Amino acid sequence: MPDAFAVPVRELLDPQVLALNALAASAGWPPADPLALPLAEARAAAERHHAFLNGRAPVPVVVQDVEAAGPGGPLRLRLIRPPGEASAHLPVLIYFHGGGFALNSIYTHDRLLRLLARHGRVAVCAVAYSLAPERRFPFQHEEALSALRWVVRHGPSHGLDRERLAVGGDSAGANLALGLALASRGEPGPPVSFGLLFYGMFAHDFDTASHRLYGAGGFGLTTERMRWYWRQYLGEHTPAADAWAAPLLADLRGLPPLYLAVAGLDCLRDDSLRLARRLEEAKVPHRVALYEDLPHAFAGMTRFVRRAEVAVIQAASAVGGHLRGQPLALANG
């Protein structure tokens, strides 16, 4: 991994990422910064930025919105199916969007969700979970369990094969997905059989090499912003060492196979690499796909960055292949 202190940012990042950053800035749709704006304005800015990333010509899919019974009332789920398979009995990927628990939505991740459905040939169940600080840990984990239980109980009537079930997410959403995989070990019904984790936010820990290398702001996500996200999610008094809040600290034995898609130029890089080491110790099959020249949130850049699109297609193929009985070769620890 190159030393970010010695090499200019422009020589580390994929050139298409640099071009995208310049285009977004010139168009007036830069990434949202919740440290510089009131939260409501930051959320609106995030929606605008991702609308720019998604574009007006989405990947064709079939979309259906349903509701599950959540811990605080109805929980919205969006079912996304690949074209031509609207009525098929499909494997299902329960997916949680990123945004530090405080930003973003199922709308900001629309293009990514469509790509996962199409290239994985799965039904994606996207969860519109509650945002922090209005709702804090562990409320979002309770909503994740509600989504899983809805799929198990009601999924078959909506064309979902509950016997072929995966969980996935990016950043904060990867935290929820890993937490759900952990919690599902004690749930009745079919087990979660695969996990897809993009550049996850797995521990309340900023003393890592990747935070020191990439957390100052040259690559997008900053350490300061990560501290802010954790405060919104945990509040001031929730213990940061809680293994449900920080699943890197949990007992990982018995987890299903996991696919870790890792951004190399990301202050959260080491969250995923440390997780991989712990998975190896726990004898959990896994694969690490490290994209050394991509930053945090690359899965949302697929319309502009070819390498990001390839990474998402590879991840989708890993999920779909595993759920269809054609798994990738994985490290077994």
pLDDT band at 3 (very low <50, low <70, confident <90, very high): very low
Q: Are 301 and 259 in contact (CB under 8 A)?
A: no
Instruction: Answer yes or no: is pLDDT of 10 > 80.
Output: no
Catalytic annotation, pick one of 110, 170, 266, 271: 266
Catalytic annotation, pick one of 171, 184, 193, 272: 171
Active site residue 266: yes
Whole-structure pTM value: 0.95
Domain boundaries, the chain: 9-323
Instruction: Answer yes or no: is pLDDT of 160 > 90.
Output: yes
Topology of domain 9-323 in CATH is: Rossmann fold (3.40.50)
Instruction: Answer yes or no: is pLDDT of 80 > 80.
Output: yes
Q: What is the pLDDT of residues 87-103, one digit of tens each?
A: 568 999 999 999 999 99
Catalytic annotation, pick one of 109, 141, 211, 296: 296
Q: What is the pLDDT of residues 268-314, one digit of tens each?
A: 999 999 999 999 999 999 999 999 999 999 999 999 999 999 999 99
Give the mean pLDDT of 61-69: 96
- The CA-atom distances, in angstroms, between 268 and each of 11, 97, 304 are 20, 16, 23
Q: What is the pLDDT of residues 236-279, one digit of tens each?
A: 766 666 888 999 999 999 999 999 999 999 999 999 999 999 99
Helices 139-154 and 172-183 meet at what angle, rounded to 10?
60
Provide the pLDDT for residue 332.
Answer: 59
Active site residue 146: no
Provide the pLDDT for residue 240.
Answer: 65
Dig out the tokens for 159 from the structure: 């064309």
- Positive or negative, the Cα torsion across 127, 308, 264, 166? positive
**Helices H / strands E in the chain, number of each:** 10, 8
Q: With b meaning 16 or more CB within 10 Å and e meaning fewer, what string describes 311-332? A: bbbbbbbbbbebbeeeeeebee
Instruction: Answer yes or no: is pLDDT of 86 > 70.
Output: no
Give the mean pLDDT of 70-84: 95
Dig out the tokens for 77 from the structure: 């789920």
Q: What is the pLDDT of residues 120-138, one digit of tens each?
A: 999 999 999 999 999 999 9
- The CA-atom distances, in angstroms, between 91 and each of 163, 166, 249, 322 are 8, 8, 30, 10
Active site residue 272: no
Q: What is the pLDDT of residues 174-214, one digit of tens each?
A: 999 999 999 999 888 889 999 999 999 999 999 999 999 99
- The CA-atom distances, in angstroms, between 11 and each of 31, 117, 138, 145 are 21, 34, 41, 43
Average confidence score pLDDT of the chain: 93
Strand-pair partners of 261 = 198, 289
Proportion of the chain above pLDDT 90, given as a percent:
85
Provide the pLDDT for residue 11.
Answer: 80
pLDDT band at 2 (very low <50, low <70, confident <90, very high): very low
